Structure 1
């Protein structure tokens, strides 16, 4: 997967992670991109450790699930560090 494909994957995965996490998270599209890319890296690394392969192809369901799962984890950590309270 190329550099721009990875950025697009991170942006979309970060946006989906923000939709999954209840409450209101701060940050604009730049924070979403950064958290999504970091989450995709984390998801690919964890997927490599557990399943023996990380992020492979852009249109692979496994790639998307790993990237979104990693983004959710990173978003939860970001919320805990910045001290944002979720509103339900």
Structure 2
């Protein structure tokens, strides 16, 4: 069940990251969820390094770091995906 929640959270974070970034991110839905999941992992790691792993109540800082990680990964991953897809279409 934890994997299901991770996929759902990854999808939500990926979609939010696509909304935050300007322009159109032409990536499939599965890749949006994967990028969001990777951003969540990156945000959790950053929160842990900064000592914000466990807090009382809602972990707002950790969630902001997760969203920031998702935005970063979508911003970097979208052009990489476009270049891979473009080179496949030419072949």
TM-score bracket relative to the smaller structure: 0.7 to 0.9
SS in 2 for 1:26: coil
Consecutive aligned runs of 4 or more in structure 1 exceeding 6 Å deviation: none
How far is 1:80 from its partner?
4.3
- 1:10–1:67 CA contact under 8 A, matched in 2: no
Listed as ranges, the gaps of 5+ residues in structure 2 are 84-91
**Greater per-residue helix proportion:** 2
The CA RMSD over aligned residues, in Å, is: 2.5
Gap regions ≥5 residues in structure 1: none
* 2:40 is the counterpart of 1:36: no
In the alignment of these two chains, the number of paired residues is: 81
Q: How many Å separate the matches in 2 of 1:66 and 1:10?
A: 13
Whole-Å separation in 2 of the counterparts to 1:19 and 1:69: 12
Q: TM-score, normalised by structure 1?
A: 0.75
Q: Report the Cα offset of residue 52 of structure 1.
A: 4.0
- Bigger radius of gyration: 2
CA contact 2:39–2:70 (8 Å) conserved in 1: yes
Q: Which residue of 2 aligns with 1:18?
A: 18
The structure showing larger relative contact order (alpha-carbon pairs under 8 Å, at least 6 residues apart) is 1
